[in-house]
């Protein structure tokens, strides 16, 4: 598809003057840009072009001197195009595409130029949204000049909307997107899931008082999280729609550079021949700091500010897929957590265990079952242990999910390292005898229990106290952590992690 537009473009003789010394050793396909350059910020070489509105042929253009670093409107029936070249192109010829408002707050692009990025732009405003001309410009830069097939985007306001519109239409051709107080439209909302599934990282910089925030950036963030995409948010406390960007562009340039350099991780051995999809898991915990160069307190959260883990969804013949979150470095003996419910973004214990090299596994729970189907969980356990996972996982659950994992534990007491349960409801579906009446099997096998217990719910507290009483009478070891609400304190998280580590 891309090459069809190249056929329409004019063949321009390549010069040996400006830009000819820019060919990096690592990218033999790079072809220097033709035409007579002018100077952009800090002395970088800028090449201007026009694209014919009928043929989409691209030719060098001598820009008016009074434009300075900016750009004027395109001539009738044409589009203006710009490329700024780094002094030393980085390996792979990464580049950043400005979605709109050329030369507005250009500090991120200047920093990227210093890091070896090219910077590109094509006429963009209310009457020039992303269209076939944008596609032809992309093809010209990648097919003809050898720039990376996956540019990063910088878009402010309407530029953020345009960047996201083009990216959602071409989700496999983008390395990352920095959108600053972006606008939006229905096409973007429809395309965000595909963009997330293609693992394109999204970085949002917004003012808390920007009227667009709840309608667009806030909604983009929530949708991206739900579909397993990597999204990061910086919120300037008290700021409106303007000013855009940061005076120190390092966080923004770091994001785009890291996105351009990324390589997909190798598929783990345990995936085997099972059909799978890969997404990411990370905490949404926020940090709040003063940025003196900008004069704002800024809240930061999301993938750029915390550890991100690969999350695999495996189709293994069960009614639903199996979820496995993979640590950066697997601990000796390959310890893992076996749980019956999905891992929320605030699961501080699981996040700590991931940092200690544990895999987190969500066992299959079908649409028509309230808990584990014993045969399914046995099959998954056998599969994972055959692939080197520890023969004694930690069982973990919260509320009714805790009762569900107890249902598997009492049937397999010799296959359990320990049980960690938050506010457990001791009920398991599909069993003849409830786990609370089969605790002796766990005590006999020496399985240690830890419960997080809140006294604000009298019925639950009564049941949990009964479990504690019975287990101690059976000679089993049980530890109780007190919690005032559903959120674990930092002290409780540390205690829970220490407990699990000590039994693995």
Q: Could you report the per-residue pLDDT of 27-81, keeping only the tens digit for each?
A: 448 999 999 999 999 999 999 999 999 999 999 999 998 999 999 988 889 999 9
If you average pLDDT over residues 455-461, what whole number do you get?
A: 69
Mean pLDDT of the chain: 91
Least confidently predicted of 94-103, 156-165, 300-309, 427-436: 427-436
| Stretch 457-479: mean pLDDT | 88
The pLDDT of residue 89 is 96
Average pLDDT over residues 165-186: 98
| pLDDT at 457 (0 to 100) | 67
pLDDT of residue 75: 86
323-337, 350-364, 440-454, 480-494: the lowest-pLDDT one: 480-494
Please give the share of the chain, as a percent, with pLDDT higher than 70: 93
Q: What is the pLDDT of residue 57?
A: 97
Give yes or no for residue 2 having a pLDDT over 60. no
Measured between alpha carbons, how far is 253 from 2 in angstroms, rounded to an integer?
Answer: 28
Q: Which pLDDT score, from 0 to 100, does residue 382 have? A: 98
The angle, 0 to 180 degrees and rounded to 10, between the axes of the packed helices 400-409 and 374-386 is 70
C-alpha 349/C-alpha 358 separation (Å) is: 11
Query: Residue 365 has what pLDDT?
Result: 81
Mean pLDDT value of segment 477-496: 88
Among candidates 82, 57, 56, 84, which has minimal Cα distance to 71? Answer: 82
For helices 158-169 and 186-197, the axis angle rounded to 10 degrees is: 50
Minimum mean pLDDT among 3-12, 145-154, 287-296, 422-431: which range?
3-12
Q: Is the pTM of this model over 0.85?
A: yes
Percentages helix, strand, coil for the chain (3-state, rounded to 5) are 30, 20, 45
Residue 401 main-chain phi, psi, to 5 deg: -65, -30
Cite the beta strand spans of 150-263 per DSSP E.
152-156, 176-180, 202-207, 231-236
What are the start and end residues of each CATH 3.40.50.1820 domain in the chain? 2-262, 307-502
Nearest to 190 by CA among 174, 209, 177, 171: 171
- pLDDT, residue 265, reads 87
Q: What's the order of all strands across the beta sheet hosting 418-422?
A: 276-281, 309-314, 322-325, 359-362, 336-339, 394-398, 418-422, 448-453, 478-482
Contact 342, 318 (CB under 8 A): no
Report the distance separating Cα 284 and Cα 74, nearest Å: 44
pLDDT band at 208 (very low <50, low <70, confident <90, very high): very high
In this structure, which topology does domain 2-262 adopt according to CATH? Rossmann fold (3.40.50)
Q: Residue 362, Cβ neighbours under 10 Å: how many? A: 23
Q: Is 270 in contact with 297 (CB distance < 8 Å)?
A: no
Confidence bin at 459 (pLDDT 50/70/90): low
C-alpha 158, offset from chain centre: 23
Maximum CA extent, the chain: 89
- Output the CA–CA distances (angstroms, integers) from residue 106 to 162, 233, 271, in the order listed: 17, 20, 44
Q: Among 448, 323, 428, 446, which residue's Cα sits nearest to residue 384?
A: 323
355: phi then psi, degrees, rounded to nearest 5: -65, -20
Q: Place 18 in a pLDDT band, splitting at 50, 70 and 90.
A: very low
Query: Given this model, what pLDDT does residue 314 score?
Result: 97
pLDDT score of 27: 42
Residues 342 and 323 sit within 8 Å (Cβ to Cβ): yes
Q: Which CATH number fits domain 307-502: 3.40.50.1820, 3.30.1490.190, 3.40.309.10, 2.30.40.10?
A: 3.40.50.1820
């Amino acid at each position: 598809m891309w090459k069809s537009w190249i056929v329409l473009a004019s063949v321009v003789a390549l010069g040996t003057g400006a830009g000819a010394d820019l060919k990096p050793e690592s990218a033999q396909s790079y072809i220097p840009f033709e035409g007579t350059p002018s100077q952009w910020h800090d002395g970088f070489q800028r090449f201007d072009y026009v694209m014919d509105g009928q043929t989409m042929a691209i030719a060098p253009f001598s820009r008016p001197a009074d434009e300075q670093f900016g750009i004027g409107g395109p001539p009738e029936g044409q589009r203006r195009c710009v490329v700024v070249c780094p002094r030393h192109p980085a390996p792979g010829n990464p580049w950043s595409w400005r979605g709109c408002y050329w030369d507005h707050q250009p500090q991120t692009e200047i920093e990227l130029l210093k890091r070896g990025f090219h910077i590109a732009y094509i006429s963009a405003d209310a009457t020039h949204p992303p269209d076939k001309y944008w596609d032809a410009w992309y093809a010209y830069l990648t097919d003809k000049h050898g720039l990376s097939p996956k540019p990063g985007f910088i878009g402010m306001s309407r530029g953020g909307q345009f960047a996201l519109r083009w990216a959602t239409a071409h989700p496999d051709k983008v390395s990352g997107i920095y959108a600053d107080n972006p606008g939006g439209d229905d096409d973007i909302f429809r395309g965000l899931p595909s963009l997330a599934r293609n693992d394109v990282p999204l970085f949002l910089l917004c003012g808390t008082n920007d009227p667009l925030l709840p309608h667009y950036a806030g909604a983009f963030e929530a949708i991206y999280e739900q579909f397993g995409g990597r999204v990061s948010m910086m919120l300037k406390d008290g700021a409106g729609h303007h000013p855009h960007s940061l005076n120190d562009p390092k966080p923004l340039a770091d994001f785009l550079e890291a996105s351009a350099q990324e390589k997909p991780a190798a598929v783990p051995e345990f995936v085997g021949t099972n059909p799978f999809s890969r997404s990411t898991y990370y905490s949404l915990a926020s940090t709040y700091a003063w940025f003196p160069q900008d004069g704002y307190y800024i809240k930061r959260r999301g993938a750029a500010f915390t550890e991100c883990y690969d999350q695999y969804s495996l189709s293994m013949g069960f009614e639903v897929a199996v979820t496995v979150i993979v640590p950066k470095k697997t601990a000796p003996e390959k310890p893992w957590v076996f749980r019956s419910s999905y891992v929320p973004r605030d699961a501080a214990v699981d996040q700590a265990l991931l940092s200690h090299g544990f895999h987190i596994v969500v066992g299959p729970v079908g649409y028509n079952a309230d808990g584990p189907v014993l045969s399914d969980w046995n099959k998954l356990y056998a599969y994972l242990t055959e692939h080197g996972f520890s023969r004694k996982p930690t069982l973990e659950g919260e509320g009714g999910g805790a009762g569900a994992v107890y249902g598997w534990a009492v049937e397999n007491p010799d296959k359990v390292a320990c049980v960690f349960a938050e506010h457990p409801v001791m009920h398991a579906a599909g069993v003849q005898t409830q786990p609370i009446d089969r605790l002796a099997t766990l005590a006999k096998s020496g399985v240690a229990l830890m419960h997080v217990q809140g006294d604000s719910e009298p019925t639950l507290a009564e049941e949990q106290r009964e479990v504690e009483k019975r287990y101690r009478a059976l000679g089993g070891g049980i530890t109780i952590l007190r919690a005032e609400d559903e959120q674990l304190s930092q002290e409780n998280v540390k205690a829970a992690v220490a407990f699990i580590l000590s039994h693995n």
